[in-house]
A and B are shown apart, each in its own frame.
Chain A
């Protein structure tokens, strides 16, 4: 068996997938590290000689009113008196234009440009922190959405300003407990146009008159909801805008001299009322600034045509006299500050240049901090910016120090500096890289295609002696090196992503080309046979239910509703495919015994006597297993968690840890249930292993199965008991309890590691009895025939010998059984040795051990779900085995150990199904963080251990199913002996039984293993590809950051974990194969003597 070759081929396939995922994610997911520092009043932002604490100086304004009208597009606010037939959204806010015309020094109206993604939460984050939000703002706290970065609300609070908030309840989740007074209203129901607005209006005017406030934030949602519901071109929009017009008028009437009024939209909307993307209609909102006292210079000097949304942050901060938030990237809005000539020296009125200087210094400080913790800003632009700032600062300091009027160029170059910093950061954080995304998509698509080709042509490729891999590797290396050299020459630096992309793509193309060639040559050799393999892409084949189900699954990833309901949708698909199996078998007439046919009864078919019995037995097994499968599918639905999008959904009661249950009786019930299912899990595994005689040997694996597995289970049960005890009930034992909480899980980890090590070191579960008495019977054996062929190579000799050994052993054991009256009875003797399940036994044990280990990381109630998982695995394996046996009974299946698509699809979908049924969801808040503290109740020092524990917890079902995947290959052979025992016993000539058949045909074995793994990888890869497509196509969808991007992350990391586990499973099989080979070598001399 060509183990190494197989493994390296799989490894190469996986790494191609990884490169594709890496490229796409690099272009799609924009990651930024949050800087958790805050600006304080003491920050020396002014030149050193002019130590002035501007918090205590009198600011320009004492109070501010922020009216945020959600989705107030800039053209809603324009007023065109010549427009005689205005659309519903035109000319409905005349107040703004009136004010601008009649009181030009008091107010301004600007287009206000938001950064994508133009969704409300991201926008609020944007115009309070002044930074550019990305999808992953890596902060300290993943689980809650509260803003931890320095922001305006925080600064207002620090400066002692009373912030009163009313409106959209998103603010409440972003700034919990930060407001002096808060009146949130539910924003979830998009159909409700009035609740939020009316709620605000009830309180707005009274609050403003009341005086118990310094900053009022009122966030109106009516316009946005109206857009979502009706679109912008609808009479309801006219009503809503007219209402807003009235609101603004009455607020203007109530604003006093020391108060600044800001009316703004957080983003725009498309004509259909949606937003989230980056089209101009979505990004361009309106910004209206007003003050009863004169605010703007009368002469309209350099007026900005468009104000970026982040610019509001430093402007508001400096106007209200608070420090600019630490991570702000915006620049101050110059017209609201007096230019240097007009500085009248009134305390706190910063001149334009001073404001710009404070701003630039803050931005530079942020840039320095950020480049210290993250490396994603290109170093050359960073150093360029640094040089620019030091030049400007020296220029400014000399200008201020020398009391010389600074040149007007200085202000302009400070502005240019700020703009270039923002552009650099935006290029790093806020822009998709479509080229990388496309490259990732192409590589993934080719990888899927390759998997499919490999799985269809695995026999061909394994047989082929040409070193495909070397060619692939050299091509990849060459392409990568070429691209690296090219980049070095043209750009001056090397971007690893593109080198990897070139390597992956070139090796993929070489592979596909060679495969085509190989296919063509074999087609030339044996005519029509390979044309069968060339016909996979006919529509009839694609519509076959197994691929149809896989296709439906992939298509479902493109719709947010199906992603939200993924758990149920996958269960539905698994159930459909499972029910399809018996229906299909019945359709082929394989399920029920053929009706008494005159032709067959006449004796045309020789083995007419035994099949009906076997067949009835097999079909009843099949139907029972389908029943079991359906039952466990249905029960698994009750372990699901809930997404926040699913309104009326109750998370499973089994998801709460026992320690949080109040009711003692319920706690006991849950505990008993969990422990008994743990016991059943262990018992079932042991039973299975004992049934096939794998517990007899004295090797490491048998030791693991006999001792470590139960001990692990006991450890887990004790740990649950300890962690469930409430702390007050056993006060005097508290030290013991905390010790046990530390020791028990750690010893479980240790046992698990020991078990895995033992399985790896000594995977054989074969027990050989050397029996002297056997010689009496052995004499009657036919003399070994290989003597006749001594001239042939030892390889062939060995090949010939193995059947002899089986026969010998079987005879001898039968002999022994007869004499000792063993209770095993008439079971074929070979089973007792455990040789028949030599491959599957360690794999099964590995799954069992891993299952208990992973269960340790879950809440206790999940033990039931894990038991269901084991049952479902068993049911799937038996269904597969029975249907294979049924097919082979009727002679419809050709030779080889092919695993058809249906069980593979079922197996991979079941992994997703149990991802949900173990309480996981593809969203970040639903990650079970408790897993990181199992065995480490006092926290961690590094990040690697908790991250890996949480990963193991999250992808438990992926790991188990992927490791167990090779079982699909072995199980039909394991069950064969049971199924067709009558025939085997009848025909003594049948030499190899059960998994030894694989040993007999190493070529077919490795081909089948390769086929199975590539098929599994194909299904997984197709799902990743589908979710990548969803993220790429729907990157402007409203739900992209809530549904698709998290789904992509989970799908991609699930693929990573699954493929890795699959490789582990395959490696274990290869390891067993090597061990079996050595074992036979040891036996050869004995037998030949």
Chain B
């Protein structure tokens, strides 16, 4: 049972990582003038779009999300609406947090919001996919004994890595090196992406090596 779940998670993560990779490489080949630094925002949206699409598809196919009790069309629609609403609210939340951390309030609001979109699609989206639109469950998952399955542990690791990556990404901004990647928000979005990829790689490995210690209550 362990092996199967870990393998499923590893392959899922590989697919998501590949999507990030493709979202960087494909436009660079196909679209003239595309580069990570030069046209940063389009890179950012392409990565977020790819991650959103691939995660939604994969997690839907895997059926990780909590089962719903009612299956009427209206209910489905309202559920979809709630997903979108939560996604948007999370973008606003991240935007506010980033501004509080010292991002300019008005000057580059578009860049800041794009970073918030990226962070949302790397973190909140996964929460949505794994736990459904349920903030209580999200808060619960981020506690020591809150994880109830391998997927929850994986969620903890990737989200933490992404956030820490974005946090570390802010460090080079004040330095006077005059590099293209020090421009806001490039270092932060690169940091969060790299953190996300690290989390994707680390989660199955960590779970694999700690599978003896991990015990989950049944759902």
**Interface flag for A571 (CB, 8 Å):** yes
Q: Mark B142-185, 1 if CB is under 8 A from A, else 0.
A: 11111000000000000000000001001000111000000000
A residues 550-592 in Cβ contact with B at 8 Å: 559-562, 564-565, 568-569, 571-572, 575-576, 583, 586-589, 592
**Interface flag for A1049 (CB, 8 Å):** no
A568 to B104, CA, bound (A): 12
A576 near B139 with CB under 8 A, answer no
Contact of B139 among A569, A571, A592 (CB under 8 A): A592
In the bound complex, residues from chain A placing their C-beta under 8 Å from that of B139 are 586, 592
In the bound complex, residues from chain B placing their C-beta under 8 Å from that of A592 are 139-140, 143
B101 near A561 with CB under 8 A, answer no
B residues 169-207 in Cβ contact with A at 8 Å: 170, 174-176
User: Counting chain A CB atoms within 10 Å of each CB, which of B99, B174, B175 scores highest?
Assistant: B174
Give, as a whole number of angstroms, the nearest-CB distance from A348 to chain B. 52
Which residue of chain A lies nearest to B97 when distances are taken between CB atoms in the complex? Answer: A579
Give, as a whole number of angstroms, the nearest-CB distance from A977 to chain B. 29
**Interface flag for B102 (CB, 8 Å):** yes
**Interface flag for B100 (CB, 8 Å):** yes
In the bound complex, residues from chain B placing their C-beta under 8 Å from that of A71 are none
User: Counting chain A CB atoms within 10 Å of each CB, which of B100, B139, B144, B146 scores highest?
Assistant: B100
B residues 96-115 in Cβ contact with A at 8 Å: 99-102
A568 near B167 with CB under 8 A, answer no
Give, as a whole number of angstroms, the nearest-CB distance from A653 to chain B. 16
Give, as a whole number of angstroms, the nearest-CB distance from B139 to chain A. 6
Which residue of chain B lies nearest to A571 when distances are taken between CB atoms in the complex? Answer: B102
**Interface flag for A813 (CB, 8 Å):** no
B100 near A630 with CB under 8 A, answer yes
A589 near B170 with CB under 8 A, answer no
In the bound complex, residues from chain A placing their C-beta under 8 Å from that of B100 are 575, 630, 633-634
In the bound complex, residues from chain A placing their C-beta under 8 Å from that of B146 are 589
A592 to B139, CA, bound (A): 9
Contact of B144 among A588, A633, A637 (CB under 8 A): A588
B102 near A587 with CB under 8 A, answer no
In the bound complex, residues from chain A placing their C-beta under 8 Å from that of B170 are 572
A564 near B174 with CB under 8 A, answer yes
User: Counting chain B CB atoms within 10 Å of each CB, which of A562, A576, A587, A595 scores highest?
Assistant: A587
In the bound complex, residues from chain A placing their C-beta under 8 Å from that of B145 are 589
A562 near B140 with CB under 8 A, answer no
A583 to B99, CA, bound (A): 19
B142 near A572 with CB under 8 A, answer no
Which residue of chain B lies nearest to A567 when distances are taken between CB atoms in the complex? Answer: B102
A572 near B101 with CB under 8 A, answer yes
A572 to B100, CA, bound (A): 9
A561 near B175 with CB under 8 A, answer yes
A586 near B174 with CB under 8 A, answer no
Q: A562-B174, A568-B174, A569-B174 are in contact. Are A576 and B144 (CB under 8 A)?
A: no
A575 near B144 with CB under 8 A, answer no
A583 near B142 with CB under 8 A, answer yes
Which residue of chain B lies nearest to A630 when distances are taken between CB atoms in the complex? Answer: B100
Q: Mark A626-663, 1 if CB is under 8 A from B, else 0.
A: 00001001100100000000000000000000000000
A565 to B172, CA, bound (A): 12
In the bound complex, residues from chain B placing their C-beta under 8 Å from that of A576 are 167
In the bound complex, residues from chain B placing their C-beta under 8 Å from that of A561 are 174-176
A588 near B143 with CB under 8 A, answer yes
Q: A588-B144, A592-B139 are in contact. Are A637 and B102 (CB under 8 A)?
A: yes
A634 to B140, CA, bound (A): 28
A560 to B174, CA, bound (A): 10
Give, as a whole number of angstroms, the nearest-CB distance from B213 to chain A. 16
State the majority secondary structure of interface residues on A: helix
A575 to B101, CA, bound (A): 7
Q: A568-B102, A633-B100, A634-B100 are in contact. Are A586 and B175 (CB under 8 A)?
A: no
Give, as a whole number of angstroms, the nearest-CB distance from B162 to chain A. 14
Give, as a whole number of angstroms, the nearest-CB distance from A632 to chain B. 11
A562 to B146, CA, bound (A): 38
Give, as a whole number of angstroms, the nearest-CB distance from B118 to chain A. 19
A565 to B170, CA, bound (A): 13
Which residue of chain A lies nearest to B173 when distances are taken between CB atoms in the complex? Answer: A565
Which residue of chain B lies nearest to A552 when distances are taken between CB atoms in the complex? Answer: B171
A637 to B102, CA, bound (A): 8
Which residue of chain A lies nearest to B145 when distances are taken between CB atoms in the complex? Answer: A589
Give, as a whole number of angstroms, the nearest-CB distance from A990 to chain B. 31
A587 near B174 with CB under 8 A, answer no
B102 near A572 with CB under 8 A, answer yes
Contact of B174 among A565, A589, A630, A637 (CB under 8 A): A565
A595 near B174 with CB under 8 A, answer no
A399 to B204, CA, bound (A): 96
Give, as a whole number of angstroms, the nearest-CB distance from B166 to chain A. 12
B175 near A589 with CB under 8 A, answer no
Give, as a whole number of angstroms, the nearest-CB distance from A633 to chain B. 7
In the bound complex, residues from chain A placing their C-beta under 8 Å from that of B144 are 587-589
Q: Mark B122-155, 1 if CB is under 8 A from A, else 0.
A: 0000000000000000011011111000000000
In the bound complex, residues from chain A placing their C-beta under 8 Å from that of B101 are 572, 575
A589 near B143 with CB under 8 A, answer yes
A587 near B143 with CB under 8 A, answer yes
Q: Mark A574-615, 1 if CB is under 8 A from B, else 0.
A: 011000000100111100100100000000000000000000
Give, as a whole number of angstroms, the nearest-CB distance from A544 to chain B. 14
User: Counting chain A CB atoms within 10 Å of each CB, which of B102, B140, B145 scores highest?
Assistant: B102
In the bound complex, residues from chain A placing their C-beta under 8 Å from that of B142 are 583, 586-587
In the bound complex, residues from chain B placing their C-beta under 8 Å from that of A637 are 102
Which residue of chain B lies nearest to A634 when distances are taken between CB atoms in the complex? Answer: B100
Which residue of chain B lies nearest to A575 when distances are taken between CB atoms in the complex? Answer: B101
Give, as a whole number of angstroms, the nearest-CB distance from B78 to chain A. 26
In the bound complex, residues from chain B placing their C-beta under 8 Å from that of A586 are 139, 142-143
A634 to B104, CA, bound (A): 11
In the bound complex, residues from chain A placing their C-beta under 8 Å from that of B167 are 576
In the bound complex, residues from chain A placing their C-beta under 8 Å from that of B102 are 568, 571-572, 637
In the bound complex, residues from chain B placing their C-beta under 8 Å from that of A634 are 99-100
In the bound complex, residues from chain B placing their C-beta under 8 Å from that of A572 are 101-102, 170
A569 to B144, CA, bound (A): 31
In the bound complex, residues from chain A placing their C-beta under 8 Å from that of B99 are 634
A373 to B215, CA, bound (A): 78
Which residue of chain A lies nearest to B100 when distances are taken between CB atoms in the complex? Answer: A634
User: Counting chain B CB atoms within 10 Å of each CB, which of A562, A564, A586, A633 scores highest?
Assistant: A586
A568 to B139, CA, bound (A): 30
Give, as a whole number of angstroms, the nearest-CB distance from B56 to chain A. 27
A633 to B97, CA, bound (A): 12
A630 to B100, CA, bound (A): 7
A595 near B140 with CB under 8 A, answer yes
A592 to B140, CA, bound (A): 8
In the bound complex, residues from chain B placing their C-beta under 8 Å from that of A589 are 143-146
In the bound complex, residues from chain B placing their C-beta under 8 Å from that of A559 are 175
Which residue of chain A lies nearest to B178 when distances are taken between CB atoms in the complex? Answer: A191
A405 to B174, CA, bound (A): 68
In the bound complex, residues from chain A placing their C-beta under 8 Å from that of B176 are 560-561
In the bound complex, residues from chain A placing their C-beta under 8 Å from that of B175 are 559, 561-562
Give, as a whole number of angstroms, the nearest-CB distance from B81 to chain A. 27
In the bound complex, residues from chain B placing their C-beta under 8 Å from that of A630 are 100
Give, as a whole number of angstroms, the nearest-CB distance from B112 to chain A. 14
26 contacts between A and B (CB under 8 A): A559-B175, A561-B174, A561-B175, A561-B176, A564-B174, A565-B174, A568-B102, A568-B174, A569-B174, A571-B102, A572-B101, A572-B170, A575-B101, A583-B142, A586-B139, A586-B143, A587-B142, A587-B144, A588-B143, A589-B145, A589-B146, A592-B139, A592-B143, A633-B100, A634-B99, A634-B100
* 6 smallest beta-carbon distances between A and B, as pairs: A565-B174, A589-B143, A561-B175, A561-B176, A561-B174, A634-B100
Residues of B in contact with A (beta carbons under 8 Å apart): 99-102, 139-140, 142-146, 167, 170, 174-176
Can you add 6 more A-B contacts, CB < 8 Å, to A572-B101, A575-B101, A587-B144?
A561-B175, A561-B176, A571-B102, A586-B139, A589-B145, A589-B146
Residues of A in contact with B (beta carbons under 8 Å apart): 559-562, 564-565, 568-569, 571-572, 575-576, 583, 586-589, 592, 595, 630, 633-634, 637
